[in-house]
Structure 1
Amino acid sequence: MRRNYTISPLGDRAVIIEWEQQISEDIHRRVMQAFRQLQELHKPYILDLIPAYASLTVVYDAVVLYRELHGNAGEKIRELISATLEETAITAAAPPRRLEIPVCYHPSLGPDLHAMAESKNVSPEHIIALHTAQTYTVYMLGFLPGFPYMGKVHEQLVTPRLKQPRLRVPAGSVGIAGAQTGIYPQESPGGWNIIGRTPLRLFDAGAETPCYCGPGDEVRFMPVSLEAFREMTHYI
């Protein structure tokens, strides 16, 4: 892997590896490659690996690291990362999970759909067609547990956040902010433009895998009727 990244301290228990800061599938592939390489080390002092759009945070146990590597923890973890990422034997990329997420775009569930359509001089059906026409990459989870940041949306769908965020956005709401699309896993305040809702549960703290989506996943949105949405909500 070419050295096209930087490694910087993030407090006294973590470092952050950063690539060029932009929304890019190529850069995110490098992030996920680094994630896999460090994950496969199975080092007891690496406590967590947190991938994002163009960065990877490595959380470590400084005491265990010092005992194993005998030296300044921050320097040693950076040396380990550099040596690992510069190895010529690159881990083969696992095929991404492909998820189909049902979404109801009824106005009662997508309160910003018509306003977005009007602002772009297109029909709501055109917005829906563009939103469901492509496959999105999950770049990171954040803001709320299990909230998937996905992109990029079609250029015609790029829309700034609401000037006045809502105090209540229902769980499952599907929104657009800038060139990103995402799903609210829990009810919360929020400023994304809400165009629909999924009946799926995006986060379950009691599940073996709490988050429905994960970084690197590929997502397609499948439009469903209000009747189908209500039926799926009842049974899921």
Structure 2
Amino acid sequence: MNELSEFLKVNEITRRFGGLVAIDRVSFAVQQGEIFGLIGPNGAGKTTLFNIITGLLEPSSGSLSHDRQDITKLRPHQIAASGIARTFQNIRLFCNLSALENVAIARHVHTQAGVFSGVFGIARGEEVDTYDRAMELLELVGLADKADHQANSFAYGDQRRLEIARALALKPKLLLLDEPAAGMNPNEKAELSEFIRQIRDRLNLTILLIEHHVPLVMGLCDRIAVLNFGQLIALDAPEQVKNNPAVIEAYLGE
């Protein structure tokens, strides 16, 4: 992999919590346009690494770059503005707001007026554009017919789609998905896999995802990194990862 293809570069990242080393000198690079999987047992450090990439946690050592920009010391809102968005393992919607309002709020990061001005009706032209784009994203994820429904009325799978739409409202170049298939039935998982491919292609995204459903990861991802006890134990194409003895022992089983 050459330097120009390294859209996200994780370089010797370590994170300590007191005497516990949650991430231990992890390095990998994600290529532009790739769907890249991050897997491993519970407690392996996957979500901690996501939190570091998105600025919710600072690394104890190491560095991060995105699109050839050093993002190691950036705050979460700066990282979001630079083109990185994420979803969470536990869905974090504004449950008492409509689907359209949930997506529109995220869009305000890219407006001149900001949330305060939007709420009070200032910069109306920009506000109209914001809601138009929010509706387009709801159409993209198949929720346009529920735009005025409160988020807490949605079925679980639709809440996942709404959360992805809200992340897409940040206009990301890199989208991080934290267990997007959690709680879904087999049909929903198959639909989600195809949906992730579609948004990657239509929006020219690079996608990094954590997921415990191994068949989905193996069928969807171009490459996979495997963490165990905070250490990187494998980094390869799905077939090679699936047959890696260290991965079988630590995570997949015989």
TM-score range (shorter-chain normalised) is under 0.3
- Of the two structures, which has the highest relative contact order with CA contacts closer than 8 Å and spacing of 6 or more? 2
Larger Rg belongs to: 1
Larger helix fraction of residues: 2
> What's the TM-score once normalised by structure 2's chain length?
0.23
